[in-house]
Chains A and B, each alone.
Chain A
């Protein structure tokens, strides 16, 4: 597509529930990133995919968070047993090649855990 698409744009869920956040990167972009942005803060790195594999998942806060990219295109970020502290905007970004930091961000999914 023309840009990085993230769905849903907003998600409200109850504490303890499971959520999935989807990212459609720009067609042909091999590198895909997930970041999390809390109010008044800059984005924080979560995970980086090169193709289908998670090349670096060191930013995932704990084992409730998991992400996949089975066909090297669309990625899903999965959060189990959500907590109120998970409330944030989850941003996805993609770039055509690795080490290209001028990547394109999506508009994000605003997750609210109540």
Chain B
């Protein structure tokens, strides 16, 4: 089966950098996803990592270490609009579905 852990909440200051960690345990590995979800809205796709290393996409970067079962999402130059829940997810071993972590609520303060 799959198990995903992420911190429940984080607070950071506007303009700063924040790193949101995710650890996972899976029977097989088919990549790892990060989604952003603003309160009351749909989750939106941020990134997908299947190989080790850092993938950079503007202010957001995502890192994966398959040997450690570890990923992080790095947000730079934080803006107030980045206040949201960040969900880490991995595909289940069989079938077309994702297993999500509980999400990390990020609060950006001025």
Which A residues have a C-beta under 8 Å from some C-beta of B? 4, 31, 33, 40-45, 48, 50, 55-56, 58-59, 91, 98-99, 101-108
Alpha-carbon gap, A41 to B8, bound state (A): 10
Contacts of A105 in B (CB 8 A): 42-44
Q: Which of A43, A56, A101, A108 contacts B91 (CB 8 A)?
A: A101
Contacts of A44 in B (CB 8 A): 100
Q: Could you jot down 14 A-B contacts, CB within 8 Å? A: A4-B42, A31-B96, A43-B98, A45-B92, A45-B99, A48-B96, A48-B97, A55-B95, A91-B42, A101-B48, A102-B48, A104-B42, A105-B42, A107-B42
Do A101 and B43 touch across chains, with their CB atoms under 8 A apart?
A: no
Do B95 and A56 touch across chains, with their CB atoms under 8 A apart?
A: yes
Contacts of B40 in A (CB 8 A): 107
Which B residues have a C-beta under 8 Å from some C-beta of A? 4, 31, 33, 40-45, 48, 87, 89, 91-92, 95-103
Alpha-carbon gap, A33 to B43, bound state (A): 13
The A-B contact count (CB < 8 A) is 60
CB distance from A91 to the nearest CB of B (A): 7
Majority secondary structure, A binding face:
loop
Contacts of B33 in A (CB 8 A): 101-102
Do B103 and A41 touch across chains, with their CB atoms under 8 A apart?
A: yes
Known pairs A42-B87, A107-B42; A58 contacts B103 (CB<8 A): no
Known: A31-B96, A43-B98, A102-B45. 19 other contacts (CB 8 A): A4-B42, A40-B102, A40-B103, A41-B103, A42-B87, A42-B89, A42-B100, A43-B100, A45-B92, A48-B96, A56-B95, A56-B96, A59-B97, A98-B96, A101-B91, A103-B45, A105-B44, A106-B42, A107-B41
Alpha-carbon gap, A7 to B12, bound state (A): 35
The 4 closest A-B pairs by CB, nearest first: A42-B100, A105-B42, A45-B97, A102-B45
Residue of B33, B89, B98 with most partner-chain A CB within 10 A: B98
Alpha-carbon gap, A31 to B42, bound state (A): 18
